[in-house]
Chains A and B, each alone.
Chain A
């Protein structure tokens, strides 16, 4: 049985690696799989489970981002409907609700619509993501028919009812100025892979943050807020990053009159402005430096 083999291998791999979080594991993810609550949809085949580093078996070549956020384990189950519909269900257990929220923000495109599921959701043309507590749930249909979308919602609701814990968006998200912010663009960050989805910094200097958040604005700017836990670390991060950019031939430093702000122009002609703010480093990227500085001013 493939499932048994996978579980055995997963066990071996997990024994050889320390989990990133020490939160206790309660219950089996199998308990979260709907068994008939989603009318018209029945299980198709056996579930599969992967834990820790064994995620690389399931997501070969794409598991890194899950681990960056703090992946614990995942269960997979297919569902089918009599007319021939098919839906794939993945329930990811992350280390914390913040990690589940972060992975949710990474996976959503921001172009779908919110549905009343979990602590946050996005339904797109053929798939649905929602998060609740430490769990990120992804349902994928294999066509864009209305019946399939209904199946995504029906199975999603059944899973949601089985998840007992709940969570809230990390407080750092509120640090993004609300005016002009595209809500679907907000991403909660835990490392460089996520950060690079906003802006491909050619360095790690100054970027080893504790947590971060980024968002795009209607006016064309992107704001990234990185939390370092202390003002000293934040200041060192700003100096480290700006020092690298100053020495890079891909960035040109520009004079600014605002105290504590460093401004650069990247190879694409975009303004990149850095500013410390207590324990945080603010980075604004956009076409016009003045607009970036204004955004930083609003975030400070």
Chain B
């Protein structure tokens, strides 16, 4: 059964068949799948807000893109995907950034604003994001790691991942805002917009990104990177708002690790360009991050920031 605490909902299956069936009927009436392309990336580029007030930095970044109204229409249902992987400093999306995005969505006329996750409520509480969600009267929809709650989505142009398994409830929303924190990763070296989408994909499917002998064959690390890129072919955020205010540059993605504090929030529709910018914040070369390079080569976005365009402003 679904138990509600405030506007938080926790979805299960099995003994909770009633809820699952109800969800299934709703989906049956909905269009089959959200389109894999959202707002046209043209004329957006990378927008960066900088300042000690992280909320204002987020607002500035979105304003530089033309405002949230470009991405969220009146009456829209909006899904948000912050990163709450760990509560160690610099490993999760800052509450101030989430609060700003929720307010921007509301000001744009969103009817519903929900964070989606298959992690636990403790993750959200520990990161301070649940408090923000409650205070801003947004929704937190938590899902068990049950395959019945995910739906198969064919990956167009797949090279390694022919089929993703995305949270079924995701397809009930009109707009999707991807909200990672950029940081170090022991395997991939970098985490940003591309990798964050694994938070929508089923944990079982995510595990297939790692081949059985991934520890001993770099070709299998390349397989992991290609799977991340393929996943991004199946789902395209309408907007990415990346927390680059404070993040770990060692011992990622879980931390604790050495903190870098650029005090920036980075927004854009082009995931490759946004990730390329974020990688540069800590001295990484985007073309050397396999997932960014493959994403560019396979048409997900522009790796050359001069071509993508970067707008920066103090908040």
A residues sitting closer than 8 Å to B (CB atoms) are 2, 59-62, 64-65, 67-68, 88, 106-107, 109, 111, 124-127, 138, 140, 142, 191-193, 197, 200-204, 208
Interface centre among A2, A62, A106, A197 (most CB of B within 10 A): A62
Tell me, in angstroms, the Cα distance from A138 to B215 when the chains sit together. 24
A140 touching B122 by the CB < 8 A rule? no
Task: With both chains docked as a complex, state the minimum distance between the C-beta of B215 and any C-beta of chain A, in angstroms.
Answer: 5
Task: With both chains docked as a complex, state the minimum distance between the C-beta of B227 and any C-beta of chain A, in angstroms.
Answer: 13
A111 touching B258 by the CB < 8 A rule? yes
Known: A106-B251, A126-B256, A140-B256. A61 touches B85 (CB 8 A): yes
A203 touching B120 by the CB < 8 A rule? no
Residues of chain A within 8 A of B221, CB atoms compared: 192
B216 touching A191 by the CB < 8 A rule? yes
A60 touching B119 by the CB < 8 A rule? yes
B186 touching A125 by the CB < 8 A rule? no
Task: With both chains docked as a complex, state the minimum distance between the C-beta of A283 and any C-beta of chain B, in angstroms.
Answer: 15
Known: A88-B87, A142-B89. A191 touches B215 (CB 8 A): yes
B257 touching A140 by the CB < 8 A rule? no
Residues of chain A within 8 A of B258, CB atoms compared: 109, 111, 124
Residues of chain A within 8 A of B214, CB atoms compared: 64
Nearest CB to that of B257 among chain A residues?
A: A109
A192 touching B216 by the CB < 8 A rule? yes
Q: 9 closest pairs, A vs B, by CB?
A: A127-B256, A62-B254, A109-B258, A65-B186, A140-B256, A62-B253, A204-B217, A109-B250, A59-B254
Q: Does B88 sit at the interface, judged by CB under 8 A?
A: yes
Task: With both chains docked as a complex, state the minimum distance between the C-beta of A194 and any C-beta of chain B, in angstroms.
Answer: 9
Residues of chain A within 8 A of B185, CB atoms compared: 61-62
Task: With both chains docked as a complex, state the minimum distance between the C-beta of A153 and any C-beta of chain B, in angstroms.
Answer: 15
Secondary structure call for the B interface: loop
Number of A-B contacts (CB under 8 A): 75
Residues of chain A within 8 A of B219, CB atoms compared: 204
Q: Does B252 sit at the interface, judged by CB under 8 A?
A: yes
B186 touching A193 by the CB < 8 A rule? yes
Nearest CB to that of A143 among chain B residues?
A: B89
Tell me, in angstroms, the Cα distance from A6 to B297 when the chains sit together. 41
Tell me, in angstroms, the Cα distance from A107 to B248 when the chains sit together. 12
B85 touching A140 by the CB < 8 A rule? no
Among A2, A65, A193, point to the contact of B120 (Cβ < 8 A). A2
Among B203, B218, B253, B257, point to the contact of A192 (Cβ < 8 A). B218
A64 touching B89 by the CB < 8 A rule? no
Q: Does B158 sit at the interface, judged by CB under 8 A?
A: no
Task: With both chains docked as a complex, state the minimum distance between the C-beta of A21 and any C-beta of chain B, in angstroms.
Answer: 16
A140 touching B216 by the CB < 8 A rule? no
Tell me, in angstroms, the Cα distance from A50 to B186 when the chains sit together. 20
Residues of chain A within 8 A of B252, CB atoms compared: 62
30 A-B Cβ contacts within 8 A? Answer: A59-B254, A60-B203, A61-B198, A61-B254, A62-B85, A62-B186, A62-B254, A64-B215, A65-B187, A68-B215, A106-B186, A106-B251, A107-B257, A109-B250, A124-B256, A126-B259, A127-B88, A127-B256, A138-B256, A140-B255, A142-B87, A142-B89, A191-B215, A191-B216, A192-B221, A193-B215, A197-B186, A200-B189, A203-B218, A204-B219
Nearest CB to that of A64 among chain B residues?
A: B187
Residues of chain B within 8 A of A142, CB atoms compared: 87, 89
If A68-B215, A138-B256 are given as contacts, then 7 extra A-B residue pairs at C-beta distance below 8 Å, sorted by A number, are A62-B85, A64-B210, A65-B186, A197-B186, A202-B218, A204-B216, A204-B217
A64 touching B88 by the CB < 8 A rule? no
Tell me, in angstroms, the Cα distance from A107 to B86 when the chains sit together. 15
Among B187, B251, B259, point to the contact of A193 (Cβ < 8 A). B187
Residues of chain A within 8 A of B85, CB atoms compared: 60-62
Known: A59-B254, A109-B258, A140-B255. A2 touches B186 (CB 8 A): no
Chain B, residues 210-226, CB within 8 Å of chain A (1/0): the string is 10001111110100000
Residues of chain A within 8 A of B256, CB atoms compared: 124, 126-127, 138, 140
Task: With both chains docked as a complex, state the minimum distance between the C-beta of A251 and any C-beta of chain B, in angstroms.
Answer: 14
Residues of chain B within 8 A of A61, CB atoms compared: 85, 185, 198, 253-254
A64 touching B186 by the CB < 8 A rule? yes
Residues of chain B within 8 A of A62, CB atoms compared: 85-86, 185-186, 252-254
Chain B, residues 252-295, CB within 8 Å of chain A (1/0): the string is 11111111000000000000000000000000000010000000
Among B87, B254, B259, point to the contact of A125 (Cβ < 8 A). B259
Residues of chain B within 8 A of A202, CB atoms compared: 218
Among B210, B218, B254, point to the contact of A204 (Cβ < 8 A). B218
A107 touching B216 by the CB < 8 A rule? no
Task: With both chains docked as a complex, state the minimum distance between the C-beta of B211 and any C-beta of chain A, in angstroms.
Answer: 12
Residues of chain B within 8 A of A67, CB atoms compared: 215
